[in-house]
Amino acid sequence: MNKRHIIVSASILLTGTGIKAADSITDKTSQPNVILILADDMGYGDVSVLNENSKIHTPNIDAMAQQGITFTDAHSSSSLSTPSRYALLTGRYAFRTTLKKGVIGGYGKPIIAADRPTLGTLFRNNGYSTACIGKWHLGWNWSKDENDKVDFNRPITEGPTERGFDYFFGISASLDMPPYVYVENNTITAAPNRTAKERKGIELFREGPLGADFEPETCLVNLREHAIDFLNDPQRKQQPFFLYLPLTAPHTPILPSAEFQGKSGLSPYGDFVLMVDDIVGRIRTTLKEKGLDENTIVIFTTDNGCAPYADMKGMEKKGHYPSYIYRGAKSDIYDGGHRLPLIISWGKRHQGVINNELVCLADFYATFAQMCHTKIANNVAEDSYSIWPILKGNGHSKRDYIVHHSGEGFFSIRNDRWKLIFWGGSGGWCFPSLPKDAEYIATLPAMQLYDMKNDPSETQNVVEQHPDIVKKLTDEMKRYIVNGRSTKGAKQSNDSMDNWPQIKLLMEK
């Protein structure tokens, strides 16, 4: 156990280390409810229980850790929003789709195929009520008029309610992406009556239509209240439920409510993180008030690391490092881009447990399929490994490797100790990146290998010293691409691999 894990353990294990094995799930009435809270662009080091030097104190998330399991080596499959969310909901790496880099915008087409099941589908097929409240960012089809312009008075199609969710309330993409309108189920709650432009104190990076009932400053509160209303519905005691709650914060525009402004003493971003922490607390309090807390699995995590443009440099000057000891940030192939806080609580079954196993957000599909005794078809959740044995307290994950994907579409593959990056730079926005640092990257080795046990900050590239490790990891990565999966099972097809430079570069190694 390295120094960081000793520190984390000391802060959590004050509450005890015992694990009470969960009862096996044998019928629908005993199945636990599940709430998955997904923050947006929030770093590993922004959670105080994970960062002994944090300048942001997150008491509600810390309380979850004291009463649950903290995963110290948890990752998204990608360091950007859309591909990360795709893998989370489908259990399949997003590079297997037509999205090879970047994200889709607010008008983007659906990235989840109509015949591909999601977590929503899985739960709904097992008798659960399912809801998605928040930021979708996986595309849907907007209705168009005769001039091929969006008709906000007509319903959307191929959205969350056609991807496994009984109920949806939220927005199409990030809070800085038009159109700025709420959608409830398949209908816009209020058509746009004005245009959003950059205003003093608010960074709306993209101009676009603004709904009559939409104010960016109150979006997060609106999502919070819809989630609490969902939990307060008497039906929650009659039927198991799955609530997917992808928040819009602390992603830009950074808009903490008045009660949180200045509260962190660090920055507006820090204040916004505290607002996310408060939502976690309110959700858990509501569960307790309704008598639902003992049989509800609550998950807190985030889609990728902190964004560099959220004043990361300013916070670092004040001693707060959103990526903690890890290199890079959002969009990067380095761990700061995709190593995440992941904390899971389930009543009193776990108390301050630390888990250092390699896990991925893509693992939720296989986890809850095992919980529901559902066999996964060969063409479903091709990259998902169950962590249900960890939640039960009597086993481990079978994941040996995890594939990461940067904002610019570059790969890495990681096992317990070694991380191989198939590129010379960050693959994202931090130094060295393309195109601004292209000349410097050209002077670097074509690949990077890091010993994550002894060098978790990725400071010493040892690719030249370990050709055997490089070959082993490269062969494994090629196998995952060729087989269309990283789990055991029949070979599957990737949606599109033609004319993709990063794949060509990798396959030639």
Asked if the model's pLDDT at residue 446 lies above 80, the reply is: yes
Backbone angles phi, psi at 493, to 5 degrees: -100, 140
| Same structural domain, 15 and 40 | yes
pLDDT, position 223:
98
Final residue in a domain of this structure, among 402, 425, 454: 402
Is 145 in the same domain as 237? yes
Poorest-pLDDT segment among 20-29, 225-234, 415-424? 20-29
pLDDT, average across residues 62-87: 98
pLDDT for the residue 30: 77
**pLDDT > 60? residue 20:** no
Judgement on whether residues 430 and 352 belong to the same structural domain of the protein: no
- Other beta carbons within 10 angstroms of residue 101's beta carbon come to 19
Same domain for 362 and 448, yes or no, is: no
Helix extents (H) in 354-500: 364-371, 388-392, 438-441, 467-483
| Coil, strand or helix at 343 | strand
pLDDT of residue 12 exceeding 50: no
For residues 223 and 366, state if they share a domain: yes
- pLDDT confidence of residue 196: 80
What integer pLDDT is reported at residue 199 of this predicted model? 55
Domain that holds residue 269: 3-402
pLDDT tens across 340-378, in order? Answer: 999 999 999 999 999 999 999 999 999 999 999 999 999
The whole-angstrom separation of Cα 268 and Cα 264 is 8
Percent of the chain with pLDDT over 90: 87
Is the per-residue pLDDT at 3 higher than 60?
A: no
Residues 188 and 332 in one domain: yes
Average pLDDT of every residue of the chain:
92
Domain identity same for 179 and 61: yes
Whether 56 and 151 map to the same domain: the answer is yes
Instruction: Please compute the mean of the pLDDT values over residues 132-149 and round it to a whole number.
Output: 96
Classify 307 as helix, strand or coil: coil
On whether the CB atoms of residues 397 and 113 are closer than 8 A, the answer is no
pLDDT of 335 strictly over 90: yes
Q: Is 139 in contact with 81 (CB distance < 8 Å)? A: no
253 with 210: CB under 8 angstroms? no
pLDDT at 250 over 50: yes
Q: Is the pLDDT of residue 101 over 50?
A: yes
Assess whether 388 and 278 both reside in one domain. Answer: yes
Report residue 19's pLDDT band, with 50, 70 and 90 as the boundaries: very low
Residue-wise pLDDT for 209-246, tens only, equals 999 999 999 999 999 999 999 999 999 999 999 999 99
Residues 383 and 409 in one domain: no
Res. 81: pLDDT tops 50: yes
- Which domain-ending residue is among 402, 429, 448? 402
Q: CA 55 to CA 53: how far, in whole Å?
A: 6
Residue 395 and residue 499 in one domain: no
User: Measuring CA to CA, which residue among 362, 347, 315, 277 is closest to residue 76?
Assistant: 362
- The reported pLDDT for the residue numbered 18 is 31
Residue 207: pLDDT band with limits 50, 70, 90: confident
For residue range 272-300, list pLDDT tens digits in order.
999 999 999 999 999 999 999 999 999 99
Task: Residue count of the chain, please give it.
Answer: 509
Q: What is the pLDDT of residue 497?
A: 73
pTM of the model: 0.93
The pLDDT of residue 4 is 39
The token pair that represents 6 in the structure block: 């000793």
Query: How many structural domains are present in the chain?
Result: 2
Judge if 217 and 305 occupy the same domain.
yes
CATH code, domain carrying 445: 3.30.1120.10
